[in-house]
Amino acid sequence: MANKKIQVSCPLAPKAIGPYSQALKWGNLMFISGQIPVDPNTGELTDPDIAGQTRQALKNLKAILEFAGASTASVLKTTVYLSSLLDFQVMNEVYAEFFPFEPPARATVEVAALPKGALVEIEAIATVPTLDLGTPTGRFGASAGAPPAMESTTEQA
């Protein structure tokens, strides 16, 4: 059976703000691009503080996981990018709310800046069911008014 690289486009999470995929699925693994604390409806940052921003970034991540039939319990590894490691403790407290049991492996690093001036960005690798979740609609997922889609873009025997 051939594995396919499938682009994931979840309408309940912010759209990618550049030339990258919200997430890619390969077999039963999903690679979720970094999520910043953007409201999916407005495209704007949600909160000025690290607690609120961490919570929104993780809500965005959770929306993509659930769209693919997974959950936060399916996450194997995360990488957390903070604009200041002084925010580590507060971020960690909110993070623990989303991963209360058997938390994933994680790296946390301080970076000079994040998109839109965010204080935090979180990416993940997770296991997901090997289900086809939609009809391919194009390289960048569903167009306006179209159903959510995952697209096969590469095959390997």
**How does DSSP assign 68-122, residue by residue?**
TT--GGGEEEEEEEES-GGGHHHHHHHHHHH--SSPPEEEEEE-S--GGG-SEEE
- Residue length of the chain: 157
Per domain, the residue ranges of the chain are: 3-156
Indicate the pTM of the whole model: 0.83
Considering the four listed CATH numbers 3.20.20.10, 3.30.1330.40, 2.80.10.50, 1.10.10.60, the one that applies to the domain covering 3-156 is 3.30.1330.40
Q: Is 29 helix (H, G, I), strand (E, B) or coil?
A: strand
Residue with tokens 């970034």: 57
Residue 134's pLDDT band, with cuts at 50, 70 and 90, is low
pLDDT score recorded for residue 132 = 55
pLDDT score recorded for residue 89 = 98
In this predicted model, what pLDDT tens digit does every residue of 48-91 receive, in sequence order? 999 999 999 999 999 999 999 999 999 999 999 999 999 999 99
Cα torsion through 73, 37, 32, 149, rounded to 10: 100
